[in-house]
Amino acid sequence: MGTFLSALQMEVLKGDPEANLKKVERLSSLLPKGGLLLLPEVFCCGFDYGRLQELASQSAAVLEFLKDLSGKLDGVVVATLPLKEGNCVYNAAVVFDKGRLLGRRPKIKLFPLFKEPLHFCPGREEENRVFETSVGKVGIVVCFEVRFNSLTNALRRQGAQIILVPALWGLERREHFKVLTRARAIETQSFLVAANGWGKGGDRTFFAGSSGIYSPWGEVLAYKEDGEGPLVAEVDLSQVEKVRKKLPVDL
C-alpha cells in the first residue's frame, strides 16, 4: 500500500475562522486516513489585516483544531496561520503528525503585492528546513516562495521527498502557479503538493485554484482547476530515489 497525499482547495472566507474550520472539517471527512493533508495558506482567516492582531491572538484554538484533525486522520496535517511571537506576527506553516506538533516554518519571502511586509515579520533562511514525519521527509514553501528555487533546492539538498506549497494565489497569475508548482517537482525530483484557495477572498481578489499533486517525474497525479474539494493521490515514495538515480541532478 502506498502513501496518500491530499490537498484541500477551498474558498477561504476572510476573517471567519469558525466557518473556515467547519469547512475543513467537512471536506477532510472525505479523505483516507494515515496520509498527509495540506490546507491553503492562512486557511483559517485569509489576509484580514484589519483584524490581524486579534486573529493571531486566537491562534491557540486553530492549533488545537489542527492537532485534533491530525489525530482523527491518523496522519500529517500542514497549514499556515497568523502566529504571534513577541512583537511579531508571522505567516507560519505548522506541521502536526498524529496529534503531535513537530514544528513551525514561518514564511521567509513575503509578497509585496499583498502588502505582507507591512503586516508580517519574515522568517529566517535557516528556518527553511525538512520535517521528518510519519509519511516521509517534508519541506514547505509558502505561496510566493515557490518562485524562489533557492528555497526548494535547499530542501532537496536536505533530503526532502515531498514539497508542500500552501497558497492563496491570485487568478491573474494562475498560469504562473501551474507552471511553477509542476516545475519545482521536476527540478527537485520530489513529490509536490500544492493547495491553493479558490474564489473570492472577501474583497476584490479572486483566487486561482489550480491545486495539484505532481510526481518527481512531473506527472500530474491530481489536479483541480476550479471549485472546492479534496485532491488525493496514492504514491510510492520509493519513486523519489528511483528518479534521482535514473537522472542524477546536482543541486
User: How does pLDDT run across 122-160, given as a tens digit for each residue?
Assistant: 999 999 999 999 999 999 999 999 999 999 999 999 999
For residue 168, give the nearest of 204, 194, 117, 207 by alpha carbon.
Answer: 207
pLDDT digits (tens, 9 = 90+) for 35-56: 999 999 999 999 999 999 999 9
User: Does the predicted TM-score (pTM) go above 0.85?
Assistant: yes
251 pLDDT higher than 90: no
Per-residue pLDDT, averaged over 155-182, amounts to: 98
The whole domain housing 166 covers: 3-246
26 pLDDT higher than 70: yes
Q: What's the one-letter identity of residue 98?
A: K
**How far is it, in rounded angstroms, from Cα 194 to Cα 146?**
10
For residue 43, give the nearest of 68, 74, 66 by alpha carbon.
Answer: 66
Is 237 part of any domain? Answer: yes
pLDDT at site 201: 73
pLDDT digits (tens, 9 = 90+) for 106-120: 999 999 999 999 999
Per-residue pLDDT, averaged over 168-195, amounts to: 98
Is 251 part of any domain? Answer: no
Is 14 part of any domain? Answer: yes
Per-residue pLDDT, averaged over 186-215, amounts to: 93
Is 76 part of any domain? Answer: yes
In angstroms and rounded to an integer, the radius of gyration of the C-alpha atoms of the chain is 16
CATH of the domain at 117: 3.60.110.10
Task: Give me the number of domains the chain comprises.
Answer: 1
pLDDT digits (tens, 9 = 90+) for 55-97: 999 999 999 999 999 999 999 999 999 999 999 999 999 999 9
Per-residue pLDDT, averaged over 215-244, amounts to: 98
